[in-house]
Structure 1
């Protein structure tokens, strides 16, 4: 029995050895022993790597300013404040100039409007004066065409200011007979008022 098992054991060992040699010689088929190492590494728990400690740098102490630096800083701050003040003054002056310019424009426009209004009033006054003078001339022509006694009768009843305007525009050759035909007291008052009227300076 032992003699029969020995050839079988030897044959099995030869087959196993042959398989191992074939695994070593064939590419892409790592030996069984090589595959055990990665598996062992994979199964081993990973150890945390120690982190490098950061060194804290000491904070620099505050630098104290020298007297010269403090003086320079004060001078710069004073110049900055002065510049701000000058800018504010310039802005205020520019604003005042804008207001004055706007006021001047409004004043010039108002003067133009008043000048145009005055010209219209003067034109209307001239037209009114011309119409008024034309009316007086028509009345004068009417009374100059009347007989002196008839005109004197009307003149004795007219208001003195109206009578002065009429006689002042009449020709002397026509006014004299009418004055002679008027009531003496009325003629005397008319003569005095007419003299004062003609003595007034012309407008």
Structure 2
């Protein structure tokens, strides 16, 4: 098929189609503005039925805000009182701790002093017992026996156990059989409960 050359084609009027499309678009815009602007204009021109609008339910009224503020202030006061009480308790505990520490230091110092005093007293008592034992063992056995006869058996047994065996034997020989037996039982029983090993 042979195409006619462009020069040979007849010219059509193009302005008619474009005019129709433009008119359709303008009409569509007018309809759209009419549909959307109508209700907006109607809302703007209606008189308000209730000039004092009630607030929505989720917005608090001034009375509600006052109640809330009062409750918050009470809570703050309560928290402040509790904090003050806790601080007072902490101060009291600190004072008590210091007093306990001071008393403990005083007790430790007193215990040390008491130990030293007891050590001195034990040393002095030991020295006194040693001297007294020396006195008894240097006495004549007959005189020492008369003295031991009047002593408490436990007390007498203590001195006799500290003496050398020959001096203790001389004193025991001068005692009455009853006194010698009692002192011997006390001396024998002293170490009976001591562990063997």
TM norm structure 2: 0.60
Mapped pair 1:187 → 2:177? no
CA offsets 1:102-146 (integer angstroms, 9 cap, x no match): 111112111221222222222212211111111110111122233
Instruction: Tell me the secondary structure at the aligned position of residue 151 of structure 2.
Output: coil
1:108–1:158 distance in 2 versus 1, CA, 3 Å = same
Segments of 5+ residues of structure 1 without an aligned counterpart are 1-64
Q: Cα offset for 1:160?
A: 2.7
Change (3 A) 1:132 1:200: farther
> What SS does the aligned partner of 1:68 have?
coil
Per-residue displacement from partner, 1:78-125 (whole Å, max 9, x unpaired)? 222211211110011101111111111112111221222222222212
Task: Determine whether 1:111 maps to 2:101.
Answer: no
Contact 2:154 2:183 in 1 (8 A): no
Structure 1 stretch 106-115 or stretch 144-153: which is displaced more?
144-153
Cross-structure match for 1:68:
60
Match of 1:160 in 2: 153
- 2:163 maps to 1:170: yes
Aligned pairs (5 A) from 1:1-203: 68-69=60-61, 70-199=63-192
In the TM superposition, structure 1's runs of 4+ consecutive aligned residues that sit over 6 Å from their partners are none
Instruction: Find the aligned partners of 1:199 and 1:136 in 2 and give their Cα distance.
Output: 23
Larger Cα-atom Rg: 1
Secondary structure, aligned partner of 1:156: helix
TM-score (norm 1): 0.59
Partners in 2 of 1:154 and 1:91 — Cα distance?
Answer: 76
Question: What is the root-mean-square deviation in Å for CA atoms of aligned residues?
Answer: 2.5
Report if aligned partners of 2:149, 2:179 keep a CA contact under 8 Å in 1.
yes
| Structure 2, unpaired ranges of 5+ | 1-53
